[in-house]
Copies of this chain bind each other. A is one copy, B any other.
Amino acid sequence: MYVNIRNMKFSRSAIPCCPPLLAGKLTPEEAVQLAALFRVLSEPARLQMLSLIAAQSNQEVCACELVETLGLSQPTISHHLKVMYEAGLLGKERRGTWIYYRILQDRLVVLRDVLA
**Assembly CA distance A38 to B39 (angstroms):** 7
Picked from B36, B55, B108, the residue with its CB within 8 Å of the CB of A24 is B55
A41-B35 contact in complex given A52-B25, A55-B25, C-beta closer than 8 Å:
yes
Q: Are A43 and B35 in contact, with the CB atoms below 8 A? A: yes
A79 CB to nearest B CB, Å: 16
Copies of this chain, tallied across the complex:
2
Interface residues of A, CB < 8 Å — how many?
35
- Cβ of A31 and Cβ of B51 under 8 Å apart? yes
Chain A: interface secondary structure?
Answer: helix
Residues 45-66 of chain A: 1 if any B CB is under 8 Å from the residue's CB, otherwise 0?
1111011101100000000000
Assess whether A17 is interfacial by the CB under 8 Å rule. Answer: yes
Within 8 A of B (CB), among A94-116: 108-109, 111-112, 115-116
Task: Name the interface residues of A1-34: CB closer than 8 Å to any CB of B.
Answer: 17-18, 20, 22-26, 28, 31-32, 34
Closest 7 CB pairs of A and B: A39-B42, A31-B44, A112-B115, A26-B51, A38-B41, A38-B42, A35-B44
